[in-house]
Amino acid sequence: MNILSLNKVSKSFENYKANKEISFDVSAGSIFGILGPNGAGKTTMIRIITNIIGADSGSVLFNGEPLQSKHQEQIGYMPEERGLYKKMAVGEHLIYLARLKNLSSKEAKSRIDYWVQRFEIETWWNKKIEELSKGMQQKVQFIATILHNPKLLILDEPFSGLDPLNSQIIQEEIFELQKKGTTILFSTHRMEQVEEICEEIVLINKGQNILQGKVHDIKQRFKENIFRLDYYGELNETVLENIQVVEKNHDHFIFKLHENETSNEVLSKLIQHHISIHAFREILPSLNQIFITQVSKTDN
């Protein structure tokens, strides 16, 4: 079942088309990546999903229903530009934001206590937001976003300003939320995090989605039949004749298959020459490579 469906969603600002008939579905319980260069239209699309602005045309469905203001209570949104009030104390601020999501003071305090203990930040309760580092503010913003247990959680650059340790903590919490049934929309420029976290993605450029699908399927679609083979011992150059070598080292080499050639044929040839093979694997393109290639095509 899809928790979110966009069908030909468009939005313009005067003569500028921010979104042009964007369509995609987000499966309930998935971690879904929204990718695109700066100015691609991601923020406009997220604002439409969160009901901050309306689309000019097209439709947005939430749990099969047309998106309405009532659905906002089931959505959590952490924007890239943080929205914390710097003069407020952490505890006071979290209670205030929880009350805006219709939590009672008692329930808000109970949930906040759970999360500040989980993040080991109990001592921050009376600290003002402006006294915290960017990374510390990031933790507070994350807690504020999830206090009302949203069904759909939208995270825009959630690791910005975090050191590796705290990035790992937030990442683990994202997976825990998914296990509990939360669907997560994840927007970032860091492709390595997308590969670690997301199951499906949509790539947007110039206001349109130019690529979408499961991460594994997309990498398979753009593979170039390049393999790496690790070996022991000496490798006679004559053995590599008719093999399209891309890179060679003392203990491994990378090659690309010729058209209509199979990896088994190359392996058989090496085995016949008594090459001691240590490891063999296909090298799939990274999402970063695919991102650059596809965006460049639409920019030209």
**The domains spanning 2-220 and 224-283 adopt the same CATH topology:** no
| CATH class in words for 2-220 | alpha beta
- Please tell me the predicted confidence (pLDDT) of residue 138: 87
Between 18 and 235, the higher pLDDT residue: 18
What average pLDDT is seen over the chain?
A: 90
State pTM to two decimals.
0.86
State the average pLDDT over residues 47-76: 93
Architecture of domain 224-283: 2-Layer Sandwich (3.30)
Per-domain residue ranges of the chain? 2-220, 224-283
pLDDT digits 0-9 by tens, 215-272: 999 999 999 999 999 988 777 777 787 888 899 888 898 999 988 888 888 888 888 8
pLDDT at 300 over 70: no
DSSP the chain: -EEEEEEEEEEEETTEEEEEEEEEEEETT-EEEEE--TTSSHHHHHHHHTTSS--SEEEEEETTEE--GGGGGGEEEE-SS----TTSBHHHHHHHHHHHTT--HHHHHHHHHHHHHHTT-GGGTTSBGGGS-HHHHHHHHHHHHHTT--SEEEEESTTTT--HHHHHHHHHHHHHHHHTT-EEEEE-S-HHHHHHH-SEEEEEETTEEEEEEEHHHHHHHT---EEEEEEES---GGGGTTSEEEEE-SSEEEEEPPTT--HHHHHHHHHHTT-EEEEEEEEPPPHHHHHHHHHHHHH-
